[in-house]
């Protein structure tokens, strides 16, 4: 067995290199992004402490997928550890296997060269990389779709019991990965029926007999999911927006990373493929049909797309919308194979290779530089929003949220226990305190997934007069605030060690005042500040008013500023460097005050005070 593997690697060095690159792109920084809402579903359901029956119940109540993925992932968590890396690692593994699968399908459908180019394109596909780092069953579904079509093509080209069993097993497994597989297999069934008209009676009977065998195997493997399918059919989803005239275009652009350059380079290859197919000779027999690679590939890929898109289109316009990118995952192989075959059709080797390398280069640059996939968050930052609470809640103050089920994954587990209470929104919490003063206590509020920080004017006024937000996080689609009682906040800061004051005192740091307003007695100031050569994540910043050698703290909030990191091309995380501060002049004694920035990092022991050129006079 080992010798066969070594021999295969030696004989197929190119595809092995592609698989290695695919693995690097999919496993690199696999835990960089926080788990988003659906991934937390996955983690909660597949908790190894859950019994198999509990998992089945949870899938019935919460999920839109068959059971197999979650049951298998529970087993992996039991033996490899309960970690997002394990869950995403499974997706990444099948992402790599999908690259090899499309190579084999391209080879079977057209030729080895087409399979190679298809594998290369799928390796660098931005969408394929994204779902490969997602703890959801989409790469398994992608792999299953590709392999089921491989089984079908193999079966049609050589009808026998062995291929029929193989096809049935692959189809049955696909049905256990995603219920959209029913549409994929319906498209395959239509193609098989179409194929029947091209063969003589004896071969037709043989095809029907073996086709029934494949169907029987697939149905038996699918039977455990019948109840789940019934419950899913009765469910009416309303969260997906209704389709519009450009919905499919938006989905296509998402597949290619919303890159105009990528679209510009892919379009001529697609047209070139169609022109070659349209110029093919007429097929009059089954041998012509199977041996004319262009026609056969076109029929398979066209029926694959037409049936799936038509059914989803009708469902979306007549019933419940299904127009989101991940529901079209099974169309990705069609796009990749069309492009792979199109590239293989280019006769001039130099043009073919240079064009392909240019295309891959632009896709890679769009992924890594334009979109900054491995450096910038693109998933809801539940983890970071929760981590602020974990790191700064020694008194175990109450945490309110509208998404308790999801935040509990981070805030209530074997490592930490937090008093998390579900409330519809922050407004509800403040309203209760306004109605009952005994409930006015320090607390945390965190939320995410399109639920912004928002208060009515009356609630905001109550907060301004009662609380001080001394710690906050504003990240990608998630935020956290710590509300401490205003009366308990020290108004002065001890700066005696800096006397006599200079423009720059203590440890130096970079800063910038981006906005300074003094309107109707309300002073607002915002900007950023950070110690050079270290992360800003542990730094605490206060805007202060300086007069007679004393510092009075202004109410200052952190502002998430990832743009500071990117602008200065820093190797350190400076996102925590932003600030916003406000002051009502009526709270001050008469006089002239200089505005300073006081920055402390207890972890590194640095403390600095910079006096700005801004002045406030009352």
3-class DSSP state of 504: strand
Please state, in angstroms and rounded to a whole number, the distance separating the CA atoms of residues 489 and 513. Answer: 24
pLDDT per residue as tens digits for the range 448-473:
999 998 899 999 989 988 998 888 88
Average pLDDT, rounded, for the chain:
92
Alpha carbon distance 387, 411 (integer Å): 8
CA distance 424 to 403: 9
Tens-digit pLDDT profile for residues 63-93:
899 999 999 999 999 999 999 999 999 999 9
**Taking the model in full, what pTM does it have?**
0.89
Mean pLDDT, residues 496-513 taken together: 94
Per-residue pLDDT at 482 exceeds 70: yes
**Which long-range contacts (C-beta less than 8 Å, at least 24 apart) are formed by 394-402?**
395/442, 397/441, 397/442, 397/443, 397/444, 397/482, 398/441, 398/443, 398/444, 399/443, 399/444, 399/445, 399/446, 400/426, 400/429, 400/443, 400/444, 400/445, 400/446, 401/445, 401/446, 401/447, 402/447, 402/451
pLDDT of 95 > 90? The answer is yes
Residue 74 confidence (pLDDT): 97
CB burial readout 378-395, b (16+ within 10 A) else e? ebbbbbbbbbbbeeebee
Residue 119: what pLDDT? 97
pLDDT value, residue 285: 62
595 contacts 545 by C-beta, under 8 angstroms: yes
Reported as a single tens digit per residue, the pLDDT across 391-408 is 999 999 999 999 999 999
pLDDT at 288: 64
Q: Where are the domains of the chain?
A: 2-370, 490-618
Residues 6+ apart with CB under 8 A from 43: 35, 82, 84, 87, 135, 409
Q: How many C-beta atoms lie closer than 10 Å to residue 519's C-beta?
A: 7
Distance linking the first and last C-alpha atoms of the chain: 85
Share of the chain above pLDDT 70, in %: 98
Residue pLDDT, tens place only, 236-259: 766 788 888 888 889 988 988 888
- Mean pLDDT within 119-145: 97
For 157-210, how does the pLDDT look when each residue is reduced to its tens digit (9 = 90+)?
899 999 999 999 999 999 999 999 999 999 999 999 988 877 878 888 999 999
Task: Among 2.60.40.1180, 2.40.50.100, 1.10.3720.10, 2.60.40.1940, name the CATH number for the domain at 490-618.
Answer: 2.60.40.1940
- Do the bridges between strand 467-475 and strand 578-584 make them parallel or antiparallel, or are there none, so unpaired? unpaired
What angle (nearest 5°) sits at the alpha carbon of residue 314, between those of residues 309 and 315?
100
Q: Does residue 341 contact residue 114 with C-beta atoms inside 8 Å?
A: yes
Six-digit token pair at 480?
């956290």
pLDDT at 238: 67
Contacting residues for 234 by C-beta, under 8 A, at least 6 apart: none
Which structure tokens are listed for 397? 């103050």
| Sign of the C-alpha dihedral computed for residues 397, 403, 409 and 414 taken in this order | positive
Average pLDDT over residues 411-418: 94
In the predicted structure, residue 429 carries a pLDDT above the cut 90:
yes
Cβ 475 vs Cβ 560: under 8 Å: yes
- DSSP, collapsed to helix, strand or coil, labels residue 448 as strand
Q: Are 453 and 481 in contact (CB under 8 A)?
A: yes
- CA 502 to CA 314: how far, in whole Å? 72
DSSP 17-28: HHHHHHHHHHHT
Report the C-alpha dihedral over residues 384, 388, 391, 394, rounded to 10 degrees.
Answer: -150
């Amino acid at each position: 067995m080992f010798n066969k593997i070594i021999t295969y690697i030696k004989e197929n060095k190119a595809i092995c290199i592609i698989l290695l690159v695919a693995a690097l792109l999919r496993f690199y920084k696999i835990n960089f992004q926080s788990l988003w809402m659906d991934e937390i579903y996955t983690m909660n359901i597949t908790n190894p402490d859950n019994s198999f029956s509990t998992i089945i119940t949870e899938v019935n109540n919460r999920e839109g997928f068959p059971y197999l993925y979650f049951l298998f992932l529970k087993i992996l968590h039991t033996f490899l550890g309960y970690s997002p890396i394990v869950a995403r690692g499974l997706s990444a593994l099948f992402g790599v296997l999908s690259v090899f699968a499309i190579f084999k399908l391209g080879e079977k459908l057209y030729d080895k060269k087409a399979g190679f180019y298809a594998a290369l394109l799928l390796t660098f596909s931005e969408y394929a990389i994204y779902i490969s780092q997602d703890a959801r069953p989409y790469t398994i579904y992608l792999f299953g779709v590709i392999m089921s079509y491989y089984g079908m093509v193999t079966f049609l080209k050589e009808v026998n019991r062995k291929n029929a069993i193989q096809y049935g097993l692959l189809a049955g497994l696909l049905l256990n990965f995603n219920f959209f597989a029913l549409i994929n297999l319906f498209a395959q069934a239509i193609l098989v029926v179409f194929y029947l008209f091209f063969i003589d009676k004896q071969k037709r009977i043989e095809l029907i007999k073996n086709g029934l065998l494949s169907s029987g195997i697939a149905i038996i493997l699918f039977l455990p999911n019948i109840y789940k399918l019934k419950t899913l059919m009765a469910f009416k989803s309303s969260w997906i927006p209704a389709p519009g005239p450009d919905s499919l275009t938006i989905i296509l652009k998402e597949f290619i990373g919303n890159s105009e350059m990528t679209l510009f380079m892919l379009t001529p290859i697609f047209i070139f493929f169609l022109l070659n197919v349209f110029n093919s000779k007429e097929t009059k027999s089954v041998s012509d049909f199977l041996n004319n690679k262009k026609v056969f590939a076109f029929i398979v890929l066209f029926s694959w797309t037409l049936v799936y898109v038509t059914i989803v289109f009708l469902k979306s316009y007549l019933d419940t919308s299904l127009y989101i990118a991940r529901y079209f995952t099974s169309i990705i192989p069609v796009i990749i194979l069309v492009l792979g075959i199109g590239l293989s059709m280019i006769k001039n080797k130099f043009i073919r290779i240079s064009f392909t390398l240019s295309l891959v280069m632009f896709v890679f640059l769009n992924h890594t530089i334009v979109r900054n996939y491995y450096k910038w968050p693109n998933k809801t930052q539940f983890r970071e929003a929760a981590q602020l609470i974990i790191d700064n809640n020694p008194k175990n103050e109450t945490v309110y949220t509208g998404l308790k089920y999801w935040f509990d994954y981070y805030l209530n587990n074997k490592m930490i226990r937090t008093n998390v209470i579900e409330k519809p929104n922050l407004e509800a919490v403040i309203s209760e305190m306004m109605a009952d003063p005994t409930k006015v206590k320090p607390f945390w509020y965190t939320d995410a997934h399109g639920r912004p920080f928002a208060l009515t004017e009356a609630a905001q006024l109550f907060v301004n007069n009662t609380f001080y937000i001394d710690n906050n996080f504003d990240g990608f689609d998630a935020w956290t605030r710590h509300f401490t009682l205003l009366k308990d906040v020290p108004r002065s800061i001890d700066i005696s060690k800096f006397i006599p004051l200079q423009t720059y005192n203590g440890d130096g740091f970079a800063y910038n005042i981006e906005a300074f307003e003094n309107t109707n007695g309300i002073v607002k100031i915002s900007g950023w500040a950070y110690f050079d050569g270290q992360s800003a994540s542990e730094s605490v910043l206060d805007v202060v008013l300086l007069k007679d050698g004393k510092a009075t703290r202004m109410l200052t909030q952190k502002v998430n500023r990832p743009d500071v990191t990117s602008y200065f091309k820093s190797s350190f995380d400076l996102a925590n460097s932003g600030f916003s501060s406000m002051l009502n002049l009526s709270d001050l004694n008469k006089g002239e005050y200089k505005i300073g920035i006081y920055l402390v990092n207890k972890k590194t022991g640095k403390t600095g005070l910079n006096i700005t050129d801004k002045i406030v006079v009352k």
